[in-house]
Amino acid sequence: MQERPEMEKVHVELKMLDDGIEPPSYALPGDAGADLRTTVDVVLAPGERALVPTGIAIALPEGLVGLIHPRSGLAVRHGLSLVNSPGTIDAGYRGEIKVPLLNTDRNEAITLRRGDRIAQLVIQPVLQASFTPVEELSESVRGDGGFGSTGGFVTS
69-73-78-81 Cα dihedral, nearest 10 degrees: 10
| Interface stretch with ligand DUT, choices 13-21, 23-31, 71-79, 91-99 (CB under 6 A) | 91-99
Q: Is 123 in the site for ligand DUT (CB under 6 A)?
A: no
Q: Is 124 in the site for ligand DUT (CB under 6 A)?
A: no
| Interface stretch with ligand DUT, choices 33-41, 89-97, 108-116, 139-147 (CB under 6 A) | 89-97
Q: Is 26 in the site for ligand DUT (CB under 6 A)?
A: no
Give CA 68 to chain center in angstroms.
2
Contacts of 123 (CB under 8 A, 6+ apart): 10, 12, 34, 60, 64, 65, 66, 67
CB of 94 to ligand DUT, least distance (A): 9
Q: Is 55 in the site for ligand DUT (CB under 6 A)?
A: no
Q: Is 85 in the site for ligand DUT (CB under 6 A)?
A: no
Please give the radius of gyration of the chain, using alpha carbons only, rounded to the nearest integer.
Answer: 20
- Residue-wise burial string across 130-149, b where 16 or more C-beta atoms lie within 10 A, e elsewhere: eeeeeeeeeeeeeeeeeeee
CB of 19 to ligand DUT, least distance (A): 20
| DSSP code, position 73 | H
| DSSP code, position 61 | P
| Interface stretch with ligand DUT, choices 9-17, 94-102, 127-135, 137-145 (CB under 6 A) | 94-102
Residue ranges of the annotated binding site are: 71-73, 84, 88-90
- The footprint of ligand DUT (CB under 6 A) covers 68, 84, 87-90, 93, 97-100
